[in-house]
Amino acid sequence: MFETVEDPMADIYESFAERQIRRAQEDGLFDALPGMGEPLPDLDGTYDPAWWAKKWVDRQRRLDRAHAAVRDAHARLGRVWPLEDEAEVRRAVGTLNAAIVAASEGLPEADRPDLIDPEEVVATWRAMAPARRRWR
């Protein structure tokens, strides 16, 4: 009764997509993906209808810890300005960044907060040198 009409462009798009995938495979872009060769998580447990809500709550808790670490690090950044040595400033920023990294553990890359840029802090610290000399 109805005749099916095939889309002549479907083969073009499909071959384009397949070609892109083949090229990526040849370039090794799929060789070292995270989790490759590992079993899918949570497959061996019993079905929990609220699994997504529990995962979301866990992710939010981790995000809250990471953001609290960032707020704390920025609050403690004020202790850097009176330091006398650039190496001390860099060490202090490294310690603050280590706290942020530790609090961000387990978060996906996209959710991890930015670290404090030590070069920016050192540049600001240097710009404050004349004021530091007057305070002494």
Domain that holds residue 98: 57-135
Q: Sorting pLDDT into bands at 50, 70 and 90, what band is 6?
A: low
Does residue 19 lie within any of the structural domains?
Answer: no
Q: What are phi and psi of 57, to 5 degrees?
A: -60, -45
Among 32-36, 117-121, 132-136, which is the least confidently predicted range? 132-136
Q: Sorting pLDDT into bands at 50, 70 and 90, what band is 93?
A: very high
Query: What mean pLDDT, rounded, does the chain reach?
Result: 85
Does residue 16 lie within any of the structural domains?
Answer: no
pLDDT over 90 (residue 53): yes
Does residue 85 lie within any of the structural domains?
Answer: yes
Does residue 30 lie within any of the structural domains?
Answer: no
Total tally of structural domains belonging to the chain: 1
Q: Sorting pLDDT into bands at 50, 70 and 90, what band is 11?
A: low
Asked if residues 100 and 115 have their Cβ atoms less than 8 Å apart, the reply is: yes
pLDDT over 90 (residue 116): yes
Does residue 45 lie within any of the structural domains?
Answer: no
Structure tokens given for 80: 């850097």
Does residue 26 lie within any of the structural domains?
Answer: no
Does residue 18 lie within any of the structural domains?
Answer: no
Cα-based distances in Å from 4 to 1, 7, 11: 10, 10, 16
pLDDT over 90 (residue 44): no
CA-nearest of 33, 54, 37, 56 to 45 is 54
Does residue 90 lie within any of the structural domains?
Answer: yes
